[in-house]
């Protein structure tokens, strides 16, 4: 397959050899279970793994998990497949998976160190285990911004065969789903090398455009009304002002009976609107760094139908989250594998439900009240927000105009996962600024969860945990202290 070499050159040699080891393990399996995460990245990763196995004619099935714990591991073990392929999860428990015939292609912070960080003379775990572990963190690459779970899975997939290069759009989908383009407003690191491959193969278009959500499917008025990053003074949250703003630029809101979307505007109209929005932000005294956030690199699956939610990559990822976070991850998986019939229609209706669930949840969180401690802030939704979306809500709140951005947002939701004692799900979200000051939510959430008898992990900017319900105050106090010490280092 042409164009693959630059990507292979960008992958550190040790990581590529881990991917080759994973590829050998995959090729030699007679049947496999894919264990993956329920979110957009996890679903995209599973689609890559399924397509890879299908092309090798290896029997497989996919199981979705909100998180991996001892309970889910024993369920997987009892299935006794020839191979378990963990995608977008697994690294947080890698030390417990050493004796499993397994491949992990994940980007969460591993619970074991990178090879060169291990004690002198200590034999590498990979020398004697049945586990092949591919993870960017093990090679000094950020799993929060430079490679997603789907991206890592894709690297193993091209190690199986470079004919799998056509699966690269799914890797881009996972990275965008995990908001990995948030920091610099475009994909960076190994994500960028995967993107170049996809662009060269003519599968993805990357172009500078507005960063607001809904380029393909939202009426342009709604896109401006719901804008949040950057927030548009006088326009965000105000439909009438959004309408007047567009009409004032000579942009028609409707074409016949249907509302026009951003993607249906002419290039001239889009440029006029972007220039005017920039001028508006400047006139409202916004800093250049804020004004810059209006545009960024946007990704499009140009071969998909115009106006479809699977054409704009950000919208596609939200569609997948709508499926996965509401118990229908397999619908998202079918869409990823190409179903544009029943699965896509069901996806549409899940998307509508997801949107209203999020807006109700935002109201609930605000009504419960955000409480500030010294170094963190939190809200407790009790049983009123689903544990699968409470993290998204925490991130949305932290990104909204009227919330303090100097402390990470912690959120509680009652856990419905089976457990002997009542557990509570905790989600946390941070900002780039806090990360640059030394905050690492994955380390903090994992350590403090363990200290109160729970499990946790994730990324520096977004992490989660499940802890005994009656220990949440102790958890908050310990977390406040640890975040404080991270920030003062």
Among residues 60 and 459, whose Cβ is nearest to ligand C5P? 459
Among residues 88 and 440, whose Cβ is nearest to Zn ion? 88
Query: In this chain, which stretch among 165-173, 178-186, 330-338, 345-353 interacts with ligand C5P, using CB under 6 A?
Result: 178-186
37 in contact with ligand C5P (CB under 6 A): yes
CA distance 41 to 179: 10
- Which partner from the list ligand C5P, Zn ion, none does 380 bind, CB cut-off 5 to 8 Å by kind? none
State the burial class of residue 418 (Cβ atoms within 10 Å of its Cβ: 0-12, 13-18, 19+): exposed
Q: Helix (H, G, I), strand (E, B), or coil: what is residue 57?
A: coil
324 in contact with ligand C5P (CB under 6 A): no
Instruction: Pick one of 50, 146, 178, 315: the residue that binds Zn ion (CB under 5 A).
Output: 178
Q: Is 176 left (phi over 0), alpha (psi -120 to 50) or beta?
A: alpha
Cβ atoms 333, 37 nearer than 8 A: no
41 in contact with ligand C5P (CB under 6 A): yes
101 in contact with ligand C5P (CB under 6 A): no
462 in contact with ligand C5P (CB under 6 A): yes
175 in contact with ligand C5P (CB under 6 A): no
395 in contact with ligand C5P (CB under 6 A): yes
149 in contact with Zn ion (CB under 5 A): yes
- Backbone φ, ψ for residue 30 (5° rounding): -95, -30
Cβ atoms 322, 357 nearer than 8 A: no
Tell me the two tokens of residue 162.
């470079």
Smallest gap, in angstroms, from Cβ of residue 108 to ligand C5P? 5
Among residues 178 and 225, whose Cβ is nearest to Zn ion? 178
Does 230 sit behind a cis peptide bond, omega within 30 degrees of 0 on the bond before it? yes
457 in contact with Zn ion (CB under 5 A): no
3-state secondary structure 228-297: CCCCCCCCCCCHHHHHHHHHHCCCCCEECCEECEHHHCCHHHHHHHHHHHHHHHHHCCCCHHHHHCCEEE
Smallest gap, in angstroms, from Cβ of residue 290 to Zn ion? 28
CA distance 134 to 87: 10
142 in contact with ligand C5P (CB under 6 A): no
Instruction: Pick one of 7, 11, 23, 67: the residue that binds ligand C5P (CB under 6 A).
Output: 67
Count helices and strands (H / E) in the chain.
18, 15
Instruction: Pick one of 81, 90, 101, 391: the residue that binds ligand C5P (CB under 6 A).
Output: 391
Binding residues vs Zn ion (CB under 5 A): 41, 88, 149, 178
Which residues lie near ligand C5P (CB under 6 A)? 37, 39, 41-42, 67, 88, 92, 108, 149, 178-179, 182, 391, 395, 427, 429, 455-459, 461-466
């Amino acid at each position: 397959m042409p164009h693959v070499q630059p990507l292979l050159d960008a992958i550190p040699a040790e990581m590529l050899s881990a991917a080759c080891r994973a590829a050998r393990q995959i090729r030699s399996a007679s049947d496999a279970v894919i264990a993956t995460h329920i979110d957009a990245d996890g679903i995209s990763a599973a689609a890559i793994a399924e397509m890879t196995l299908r092309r090798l004619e290896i029997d497989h099935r996919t199981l979705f998990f909100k998180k991996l714990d001892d309970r889910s591991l024993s369920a997987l073990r009892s299935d006794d497949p020839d191979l378990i392929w963990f995608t977008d999860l697994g690294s947080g428990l890698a030390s417990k998976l050493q004796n499993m015939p397994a491949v992990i292609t994940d980007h969460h912070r591993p619970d074991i160190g990178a090879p060169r960080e291990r004690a002198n003379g200590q034999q590498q775990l990979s020398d004697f285990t049945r586990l092949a572990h591919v993870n960017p963190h093990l090679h000094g690459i950020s799993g929060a911004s430079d490679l997603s779970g789907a991206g890592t899975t894709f690297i193993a997939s091209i190690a199986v065969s470079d004919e799998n290069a056509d699966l690269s759009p799914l890797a881009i989908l996972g990275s965008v789903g995990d908001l990995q383009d948030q920091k610099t407003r475009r994909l960076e690191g190994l994500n960028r090398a995967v993107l170049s491959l996809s662009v060269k193969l003519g599968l993805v278009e990357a172009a500078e455009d507005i960063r607001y959500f809904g380029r393909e499917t939202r009426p342009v008025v709604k896109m401006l009304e719901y804008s949040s990053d950057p927030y548009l003074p006088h326009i965000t949250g105000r439909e009438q002002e959004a309408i007047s703003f567009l009409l004032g630029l000579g942009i028609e809101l409707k074409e016949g009976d249907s509302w026009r979307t951003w993607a249906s505007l002419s290039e001239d109209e889009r440029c006029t609107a972007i220039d005017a929005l920039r001028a508006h932000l400047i006139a409202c005294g916004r800093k250049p760094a804020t004004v810059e956030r209006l545009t960024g690199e946007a990704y499009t699956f140009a071969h998909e139908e115009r106006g479809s939610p699977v054409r704009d990559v950000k919208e596609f990822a939200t569609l997948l989250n709508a499926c996965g976070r509401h118990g229908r991850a397999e619908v998202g998986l079918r869409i990823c594998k190409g179903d544009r019939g029943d699965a896509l229609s069901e996806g549409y209706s899940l998307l509508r439900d997801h949107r209203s669930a999020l807006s109700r949840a935002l109201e609930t969180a605000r009504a419960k009240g955000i409480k500030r401690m010294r170094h963190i802030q939190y809200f407790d939704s009790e049983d009123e927000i689903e544990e699968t979306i409470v993290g998204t809500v925490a991130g949305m709140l932290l990104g909204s105009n009227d919330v303090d951005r100097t402390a990470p947002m912690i959120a509680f939701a009652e856990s419905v996962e089976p457990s002997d004692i009542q557990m509570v799900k905790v989600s946390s979200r941070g900002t780039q600024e806090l990360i640059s000051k030394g905050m690492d939510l994955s380390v903090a959430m994992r350590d403090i969860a363990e200290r109160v008898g729970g499990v946790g992990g994730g990324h520096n900017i977004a992490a989660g945990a499940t802890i005994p319900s009656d220990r949440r105050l102790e958890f908050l106090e310990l977390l406040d202290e640890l975040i404080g010490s991270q920030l003062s280092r």
